[in-house]
């Protein structure tokens, strides 16, 4: 459920008409709903009930500091995968003891920064990274709390393994974590190091998971792993169950947070561990829309092509993952819908948001909203085709604020410089 609804024939974010925001900030823009962010956090947290747990919001899904802060105020920590994300979590005011550092290629410099910040936990993804962390931590005279991210070799999308290949992370060939049982030796090695302290086990099998079975399979393996590691003498106090719960983009029916919580507790309830979760998409996807304006429409021998001012650089999911976002007119229209290909202006055929998507008659200037764009939208945006990063707006009831303004051409070009041998010449031509 989200808080983007039609009232009086127009689409609102909570109590603010999207058309009003468009008038103020121009298009395209991302718009997020505070009430939806809070609701999703609350529903998950309530489903987990009184279990000893913490939700570490996966900052990569939407890394705007106002979004991180909104969830932080609800009690969320942050799951970060780079020094940049760690700095964002800090800028949003997330206390360091609520930050977990994940990712398969953390550099020594990033590890050092995170150690200096005294974060809650490092999730280790290779033996080489363990050696590096131990070395850096000893150099600083500190001890890093670690969990090893174990790769359970579980298929996250058994019904569609190829289509969703880019978002599965817990199979043998995926680059993440350390396979079990090899990870057992990693724990043995860690136990003999003075720069790290083993505190837990971590796992994350993929994203946009729409069935409880893969979760149950992975969590059952996790339980066995914890039992084995404890029998080996390791003091496992925490299990980090990752994120991955799917959301409805069009007609998907993901498990409810309550179903998910049941799967978690069935497998891990008796471990007497602190449970950590790293949801991203589930918290923020439906809390955001990308609003765009129709620029032109044309017909290609019966194929209706609607050109909009947003492009794949603003929302790359359709081009990158063949993802489909529901597209709706901002002004509800009674005209008969006809299929349309909704495309952006970038010079790539993959710059297409939807194929044969039903849309009413449209005119240049009309606004469309791409729903479920709060996750992996703005955070994956780029300047491709030298297009400006678009504004992000946060709505709260009847108020709204620009939480990132539209980038300017001046700031975009300011980062570049001519080398001395070119700067000396007066110009070209």
Q: Residues interacting with ligand PLP, by CB under 6 A?
A: 58, 61, 79, 102, 169, 204, 207, 242-245, 278-282, 375
SS3 sequence, 87-139?
HHHHHCCCCHHHEEECCCCCCHHHHHHHHHHCCCEEEECCHHHHHHHHHHHHH
Q: Which is nearer to ligand PLP, 53 or 293 (CB)?
A: 53
Q: How far is the CB of 97 from ligand PLP (least distance, A)?
A: 19
Of the pair 156, 390, the CB lying nearest ligand PLP is at 156
Instruction: Name the minimum Å distance from CB 280 to ligand PLP.
Output: 3
- Catalytic-labelled residue, pool 128, 231, 300, 347: 347
DSSP state of 387: P
**Known catalytic residue at 347:** yes
Please identify, using beta-carbon distances, which residue of 257 and 344 lies nearer to ligand PLP: 257
Any idea what DSSP says for residue 57? E
CB of 57 to ligand PLP, least distance (A): 9
Residue 34: phi and psi, rounded to 5, are -60, -45
Cα–Cα distance measured from residue 272 to residue 290, given in angstroms and rounded to the nearest whole number: 42
Nearest residue (CB) to ligand PLP, 58 versus 76: 58
In angstroms, what is the minimal distance from the CB of 203 to ligand PLP?
9
Distance, in Å, from the CA atom of 181 to the CA atom of 34, rounded to the nearest integer, reads 43
Give Cβ neighbours of residue 8 (< 8 Å, ≥ 6 apart): none
CB of 113 to ligand PLP, least distance (A): 19
- Smallest gap, in angstroms, from Cβ of residue 29 to ligand PLP? 22
Which of 200, 242 has the CB closer to ligand PLP? 242
Q: Based on CB atoms, which residue is closest to ligand PLP, 292 or 379? A: 379
CB of 176 to ligand PLP, least distance (A): 7
Q: Is the peptide bond before 78 cis (omega within 30 degrees of 0)?
A: no
Burial of 328 (0-12, 13-18, 19+ CB in 10 A): buried
Give the dihedral of Cα atoms 391, 392, 394, 398; nearest 10 deg: 30
Q: Is there a contact between 353 and 343 (Cβ–Cβ < 8 Å)?
A: yes
DSSP 82: S
390 secondary structure, DSSP code:
P
Any idea what the Cα angle at residue 369 is, between residues 367 and 375, rounded to 5°? Answer: 150
For 67, what's the count of Cα atoms within 13 Å in the CB-facing half-sphere?
31
Q: Are strands 303-308 and 288-300 parallel, antiparallel or unpaired?
A: antiparallel
Q: What six digits make up the tokens of 89? A: 């979590």
Nearest approach, Cβ of 46 to ligand PLP (angstroms)? 18
> Taking Cα atoms as reference points, which of 256, 315, 250 lies closest to residue 282?
256
Beta strands per DSSP E along 241-366: 274-277, 288-300, 303-308, 327-329, 338-343, 352-359
- The nearer residue to ligand PLP, 63 or 186, going by C-beta atoms, is 63
Q: Residue 245 or residue 343: which is nearer to ligand PLP going by CB? A: 245
Mind telling me the catalytic residues? 347
């Amino acid at each position: 459920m989200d808080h983007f609804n039609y009232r009086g024939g127009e689409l609102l974010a909570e109590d603010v008409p999207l058309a009003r925001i468009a008038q103020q900030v121009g298009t395209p823009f991302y718009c997020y709903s505070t009430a939806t962010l809070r609701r999703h956090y609350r529903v998950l947290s309530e489903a987990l009930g009184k279990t000893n747990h913490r939700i570490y919001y996966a900052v990569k899904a939407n890394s705007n500091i106002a979004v991180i802060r909104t969830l932080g105020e609800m009690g969320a920590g942050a799951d970060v995968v780079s020094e940049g994300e760690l700095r964002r979590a800090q800028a949003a005011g997330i206390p360091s003891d609520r930050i977990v550092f994940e990712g398969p290629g953390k550099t020594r410099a990033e590890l050092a920064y995170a150690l200096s910040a005294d974060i809650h936990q490092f999730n280790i993804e290779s033996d080489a990274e363990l050696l590096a962390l131990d070395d850096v931590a000893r150099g600083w005279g500190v001890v890093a709390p670690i969990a090893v991210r174990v790769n359970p070799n579980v298929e996250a999308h058994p019904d569609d393994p190829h289509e969703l290949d880019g978002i599965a992370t817990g199979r043998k060939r995926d680059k993440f974590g350390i396979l079990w049982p090899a990870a057992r030796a990693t724990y043995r090695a860690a136990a003999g190091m003075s720069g790290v302290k083993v505190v837990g086990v971590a796992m994350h099998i993929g994203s946009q998971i729409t069935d409880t079975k893969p979760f149950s399979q992975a969590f059952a393996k996790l339980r066995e792993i914890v039992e084995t590691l404890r029998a080996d003498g390791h003091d496992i106090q925490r299990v980090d169950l990752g994120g991955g719960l799917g959301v409805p983009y069009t007609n998907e029916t993901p498990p409810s947070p309550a179903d998910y919580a049941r799967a978690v507790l069935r497998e891990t309830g008796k471990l007497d561990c602190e449970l950590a979760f790293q949801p991203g998409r589930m918290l923020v996807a439906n809390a955001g829309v990308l609003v765009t304006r129709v620029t032109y429409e044309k017909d290609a021998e019966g194929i209706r092509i609607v050109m909009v001012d947003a492009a794949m650089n603003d929302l790359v999911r359709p081009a990158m993952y063949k993802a489909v976002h529901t597209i709706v007119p901002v002004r509800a229209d009674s005209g008969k819908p006809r299929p349309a290909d909704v495309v952006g202006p970038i010079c790539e055929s993959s710059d297409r948001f939807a194929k044969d998507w039903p849309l009413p008659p449209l005119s240049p200037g009309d606004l469309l909203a791409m729903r479920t764009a709060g996750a992996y939208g703005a955070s994956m945006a780029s300047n491709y085709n030298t297009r400006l990063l678009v504004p992000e707006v946060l709505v709260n009831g009847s108020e709204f604020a620009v939480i990132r303004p539209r980038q300017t051409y001046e700031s975009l070009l300011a980062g570049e410089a001519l080398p001395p041998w070119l700067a000396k010449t007066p110009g070209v031509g």
